[in-house]
Structure 1
Amino acid sequence: MLNGIGAPLRIPLFRRIWSASLLSNLGLMIHGVGAAWAMTRMTSSADMVALVQTALMLPVMLLAVTAGAVADMFDRRIVGLLAMSLGLTSAATLSVLTHLDLLTPNVILIFTFLIGCAMALFGPSWQASVSEQVPPDTLPSAVALNGISYNIARSFGPALGGIIVATAGAVAAFVCNAVLYLPLLVVFFLWRRDVEPSRLPPERLGRAIVSGVRYISHSPSLRIVLWRTLATGICGSSVLALMALIARDLLGGGAQTFGMMLGAFGMGAVIGALNIETVRRFITSETAIRISVVTMGLGLAIVAVSRAPVLTAAALVVAGAGWMLAITLFNINIQLSAPRWVAGRALATFQAAISGGIAMGSWFWGHIADGFGTDYALLFSAAALLLTPLLGLWLRMPAAGSRDEQTVDPLADPEVALSIKGRSGPIVIEIEYRVDPQRAREFYGVMQEVQASRQRNGAYGWSIARDLGDTHLWTERYHCPTWNDFLRQRSRATRLERQLFQTASDFHLGIEPIRVRRMLERPFGSVRWKDETPDRAPDLLPAQANVVSGV
């Protein structure tokens, strides 16, 4: 195992964090059992039971993009510590309220929501830092191991939670969750993360969120993965939301049966994750996703019609394997496709897609179960999963790792004669190319790719124009909000994007170099009324040599 998917476990830092996260996930599973079963004891409404899962996952959807921006802006270790502290505080408070006999359905939902907020804040920082803990060639295995950690906890945590709830009540489950936050807090506190200082100040939160959204909106491969993730989350969330009702209504069991069924699903997920490298080696991402969702759909159909615990557990193992394979493949694709500067935001958006899908699906399938019964809700969910491969006709999965998205060394800052500050802007860039008219259409096609690259990395208002009086002359034009944003945009190019810029430059004819103009746009009202009016913006970093390549 250590030569394949277990290779990252040879690295002490990753092994410590992985082990501590396993315990934290175990606590989360125990909490889920306690909260869901306590809710079934207080109300017979399937909607309220399903809302426990919604309360846990909805914050990830609502806060993911902000959490991803925070993960990219600040020290990911500190962000993780703050998130775990919030989770510990929420779990401890819920334990005290339960002990004082103040537990109500609303109290369960409120504190489950707060624990979900801690998950939302912690997730992007943790996942984005995995690439700092392991070598690049073991990153897919590390991603799969993180999934295995969660699902090992899912395999044993629910059964353990069922025993704890049955013997000591929900308060014991909530206390266990609080205690099991501590190892992860200690590991993150002791981690001495190597922080690479940036010569540019961090983006403001609002600008960082916009940058992340802009990058994803101009990355077709990421958009495809996110849409497929959302669809899978919505269609497949019925089993997560209705597991307590499967145990109570379909199997006639109690808390222990509930825990055993969750454990069977988690065991299947572990089996799926352990085989992720084999799947990636022999079949394409699209084929693997199709097989995964069909497998899960068939498993759910069996769960819907089964009334025998053994058959239901076996079907849940199959469904869990399909679920985990699909989600891990989506996650790996995001990890390998997003550059480091936006990794936290890309992973946060992935979390928003899967958690949002689960949250919306949980509410929907709970509503269907209330109206038609748990078995029919599961059958409808299975049918939806069996239809999702049709999405591949329009949204075909890209090959994971097929693009080299690692950033390269940033270009030197261009020389400037005008005294400007980092916040000065907008900045307008014009690049003039002289292109053989016979190659005009070919050049135009390359420039469409250049447009997507510029816009992903921070440019707006991009255009390409051809001179009416000179058939050789083409002018590329785009804007950046400020001078610092322009410098960031130059430093974000990946190796493939740098090659793309060079390809565009190779179309240029003549002995004269490509002409580049960088201008400070001066809209009305942007200039100080008097020279003596103070400007409190920080001074501009010293200019370096002028470099034209990549602009």
Structure 2
Amino acid sequence: MPASSGGSFAPLRQPVFAVLWTATVLGNIGSFMRDVASSWMVTELSASPAAVALIQTAATLPIFLLAIPAGVLSDILDRRRFLIGVQILLALVSGSLLLLAKTNTLTVEYLVALTFVGGIGAALMGPTWQSIVPELVPRSDLKNAVALNSLGINIARALGPAAGGLLLASFGAAAAYGADVLSYVFVIAALLWWRRPATVDSGLSEQFFGAFRAGLRYARASRELHRVLLRAAVFFLFASSVWALLPLVARKMLGGTASFYGVMLGAVGAGAIVGALLLPRLRQRLTADGLVLLASLLSAGVMAALAMAPPQWVAVALMLVLGTGWIIALTTLNGVAQAVLPNWVRGRGLAIYLMVFNGAMAGGSLGWGLIAQEAGVPGTLLAGGAGLVVVALLFHRAKLPTGEADLQASNHWPEPMLTEPVAHDRGPVVVQVEYRIRKHDIPAFLHAMKQVAQERRRDGAYAWGVAEHTGEPGRVIEWFMVESWAEHLRQHQRVSKADADMQAAALRFHVGPEKPVVHHFLALDLKDGRP
């Protein structure tokens, strides 16, 4: 990806990005106000650590369950209209919490249920919001735009919890929920103002279930995405312990009030802002793997220190360190995930990343909450911190991808030769590519074809193979199967420039007088003998 010449804040020169970014910050401030009110209210309604951790689980579990369907929707629907609908749903959730708090009828059951519905809204919004970023800025500013989104979230994390805690302490939970409802007005207004360019209908629009299968095929075949998901899962599984137990740390271990809890969360956001500002310098000295290791060590150190029940001012300072470590991990892992995903599957790929992230947070939060009931909060924090250090060192060898491949469409495949039109839903399709390879080059050719096989599967093939003619050594057939003619035409549009280079590396072993011959075969219906 070309480096941006405008600096870290260059994306804000784009008016649409600047307006939507500002609206998102305001919306996230409201969301953090709501979250701090809900986290504190559950400690008043129940003293059980499991009940407290359940709020975190209810918020993140829907994202784990619905992330992939949400990613599919973000890739096949109008993203602007979809986001407006999600914002209305979230406003209704906070409005319901407002009414329950105002009438003193809020219970743990209502709180968990509405938090779960809010999690559904977050699940639908997450991949869609991230997917629109490439539409708002030049490609050279994409990494800076991703970093600014993380910075915006943490500006909200710095302001929202502190403001929510003050509102909660001064006017009650209803005021915090009301402020959140108001924040959605700004977000919806910004989305209505945005005039998203109409997309050209190529006639190859994906349907939900086909897009769902295509996304899963891509994720299954992308080894680069696998490494990102693995590193994210192990980090968030252990790091979730401090988030699940933080309300109890503030209230029970440190004797704090709702305002103090808000200040602690605000300090996390302030630390994240500091971390975001430090990241450009850190990237000059550390690789992505080094940054994740640094984030793990910082987070683990905070957990160990909190387990000692330090004075409140020390705890606030520790939250600054936690925020720094948290933003380093979030920005690094999310940035790598963005960099390895092509545009056509970006929503689905990010949804899978968010599913792993929130699944690890949800499962970890519930698990650490149950452990805390038996081992106590201090012991659980120590166990989480020790585990985070161990897995960080063990998985440091599973190197993250560099994300430097050019994923722009190459459009170098020629259009298939047709004697008559083919219905888009007809299939499956078998594609054969015939090569001529010298006998002594076949091992090297097959090694190069391993990369080609992954690319074919990522872009739509559900089966792939290579075979040699029994009577003509060196006459090699590559074949792959696609579920429909439309899906094969989409393959033509999905092949990236990096994929083209990969295919060229295999083609250099072809010694025929012409390019490899490509054949397309369409399935026939054996029942009536018709296509």
TM-score relative to the length of structure 1: 0.93
Distance change (3 Å), C-alpha of 1:64 and 1:390: same
Deviation at 1:144, TM superposition (A): 1.2
Q: Where does residue 253 of structure 1 map in the other structure?
A: 256
Q: Pick the aligned partner of 1:281 from 279, 284, 297.
A: 284
Change (3 A) 1:277 1:170: same
Distance 1:396 1:513, change over 3 A: closer
The structure 2 residue matched to 1:86, chosen from 68, 86, 89, is 89
Give the aligned residue type for 2:484: T
Inter-partner Cα distance in structure 2 for 1:279 and 1:347: 25
Deviation at 1:39?
0.8
2:40 to 16, 37, 40: 37
Cα distance between partner residues in 2 of 1:486 and 1:526: 25
Aligned pairs (5 A) from 1:130-529: 130-392=133-395, 394-399=397-402, 401-409=403-411, 411-525=413-527, 527-528=529-530
Q: What does residue 77 of structure 1 align with?
A: 80
Distance 2:223 2:323 in 1: 29
- In the alignment, is the contact (CA less than 8 A) between 1:433 and 1:473 conserved in 2? yes
Contact 1:75 1:195 in 2 (8 A): no
Q: Secondary structure at the match of 1:429?
A: strand
The amino acid across from 1:461 in the alignment is A
Unaligned ranges ≥5, structure 2? none
Post-superposition shift, 1:268? 1.3
Change (3 A) 1:94 1:153: same
Q: 1:526 to 1:102 in 2, by over 3 A?
A: farther
Q: Deviations 1:390-445 (Å, cap 9, x if unpaired)?
A: 3435522122x322222233645312124421101111111110011121111111
Distance 1:332 1:234 in 2: 19
SS at match of 1:153: helix
Q: Which amino acid aligns with 2:107?
A: T
CA distance in 2: counterparts of 1:394 and 1:279, whole angstroms = 20
The secondary structure found in structure 2 opposite 1:101 is: coil
Relative to structure 2, which stretch is displaced further, 269-278 or 69-78?
Answer: 269-278
Residue in structure 2 matched with residue 20 of structure 1 by the alignment: 23
Residue identity matched to 1:520: L
In the comparison of the two structures, how many residue pairs are matched?
Answer: 528
Change (3 A) 1:407 1:275: farther
TM-superposed CA distance for 1:24, in Å, is 0.7
Task: Show CA shifts across 1:70-125 (max 9, x none).
Answer: 11111111111111111111111221222232211111111111111111111111
2:173 and 2:191 map into 1 onto residues whose CA distance is: 29
- Alpha-carbon RMSD: 1.7
Q: What is the deviation of 1:195? A: 3.3
Residues 380/242 of structure 1: CA separation in 2 closer, same or farther (3 Å cut): same
State the distance in 2 between where 1:281 and 1:136 align: 21
Per the alignment, in what secondary structure is the counterpart of residue 103 of structure 1?
coil
Cα contact 1:432–1:515 (8 A) shared by 2 = yes
How much has 1:528 moved relative to structure 2?
5.0
Deviations 1:343-399 (A, max 9, x none): 111111111111111111111111122112111111111111111223435522122
In structure 2, the residue matched to 1:533 is none
Amino acid at match of 1:174: Y
Moved over 6 A (4+): none
**Is the CA contact (8 Å cut-off) linking 1:293 and 1:388 kept in structure 2?**
no
Give the secondary-structure state (helix, strand or coil) at the position aligned to 1:275.
Answer: helix
Q: Check whether the contact 1:144–1:274 (CA below 8 A) recurs between aligned residues.
A: no
Unaligned segments of structure 1, at least 5 residues:
530-551
Aligned-partner SS, 2:187: helix
- Distance, in Å, in 2 between the alignment partners of 1:355 and 1:527 is 50
Q: How far apart are the structure 1 equivalents of 2:87 and 2:104?
A: 26
- Offset at 1:167? 1.4
Question: Counterpart of 2:523 in structure 1: which amino acid?
Answer: E
- The corresponding residue for 1:49 is 52
- 1:108 and 1:517, CA in 2 relative to 1: closer, same or farther beyond 3 A? same
Letter in 1 for 2:441: R
Secondary structure of the 2:307 match is helix
Instruction: Give the TM-score normalised by structure 2.
Output: 0.96
The worse-fitting range, judged by mean Cα deviation, of 225-234 and 515-524 is 515-524
